[in-house]
Structure 1
Amino acid sequence: MKTLATSAKEMISGMKPHLQSDVYVFVTKAHPCITERFVSDALCIFEEDEGVSMIMSVANAERRGFATDQRMRCITLKVFSSLEGVGLTAAVSSALAAKGIACNVVAAFHHDHLFVPEARAQEAMGILKELQRQANNA
């Protein structure tokens, strides 16, 4: 079993950001029963009061007729952080916000995934690597 990082310093110093190659969009459908046919195309699904939100690759979204104008890239933080760990989301979102970069975080069981605007993904990677470097030197 992998040791889970729990402190902010452990999580930030070990986050190893990795930029995924696909481009994604967030899409939504008002009726949950309609979304069943989209499940195989979605990377992530979340049911909200207003409808079902899904994250899909641009290719899948276009094939299904969804708008693809707000394109995002996914940066996976490769650290194995505890679901009870405190500080990672705040640190990365604050560092990106300081440079005016939007960040939508999806925390999954093994890793955290940051969705940032496609045009600023490389810049976001540089910011996250610098944040990790600073944590390693602290």
Structure 2
Amino acid sequence: MLAGMKPTLKDGRYFFCTTNNKTVLTALSGRSLALFREDEGVALVLAEDDATLHGFDLSVPMSRIVLEVFSALDGVGLTAGVATALADEGIPCNMIAAYHHDNVFVPEPMAGRAVEVLKDVQRRASSPHH
């Protein structure tokens, strides 16, 4: 899967937010890029406009990199390979595996470097000497 991934930086700034406010959840459930229920509250991944409108913390803007490869839900190694390569470069990431693609969220100032690192991982994984 590492050899076949095509890391693609998407436009926009995203914010990881959490709330238990039912009014806010009703307003954002259809707008959130991702939603996950945790014991402490509902985690949302919101575009900047929605996070701003509802008064969420905007101190950690994230960029979204989509790994344009079909990743099987029972596949092994993609998340570990990506997270390790980024960690080795000092780039924190939050991985969200969806149905069709894996999504990598990195701090916005590090997005360009993260894409370079992931493209390098892809090249190394697809080289015949790997």
Whether TM-score is above 0.5 comes out as: yes
Corresponding residue number in structure 1 for 2:57: 67
> Does residue 124 of the first structure (1) align with residue 111 of the second (2)?
no
Tell me which amino acid in the other structure corresponds to 1:55. Answer: V
Corresponding residue number in structure 2 for 1:27: 17
Query: How many Å separate the matches in 2 of 1:81 and 1:21?
Result: 22
For 2:80, which of 78, 86, 90 is the aligned residue?
90
Query: How many Å separate the matches in 2 of 1:15 and 1:25?
Result: 24
Q: How does 1:41-80 map to 2 (within 5 A)?
A: 41-80=31-70
Higher mean C-alpha deviation, range 34-43 or range 15-24: 34-43
For 2:94, which of 98, 104, 108 is the aligned residue?
104
Tell me which amino acid in the other structure corresponds to 2:17. Answer: V
Corresponding residue number in structure 2 for 1:38: 28
* Deviation at residue 41 of structure 1 after TM alignment: 2.5
**Number of equivalent positions:** 127
% same residue:
44
Q: Which runs of 5+ in 1 are unaligned?
A: 1-10
Query: How many Å separate the matches in 1 of 2:27 and 2:62?
Result: 23
Tell me which amino acid in the other structure corresponds to 2:113. Answer: E
Q: Which runs of 4+ in 1 moved over 4 A?
A: none
Higher mean C-alpha deviation, range 36-45 or range 79-88: 36-45
Query: How many Å separate the matches in 2 of 1:70 and 1:135?
Result: 31
Q: TM-score, normalised by structure 2?
A: 0.94
Bigger helix share: 1
Tell me which amino acid in the other structure corresponds to 1:77. Answer: L
Aligned-residue Cα RMSD (Å) equals: 1.0
Q: TM-score, normalised by structure 1?
A: 0.89
Tell me which amino acid in the other structure corresponds to 2:122. Answer: Q
Query: How many Å separate the matches in 1 of 2:79 and 2:48?
Result: 25
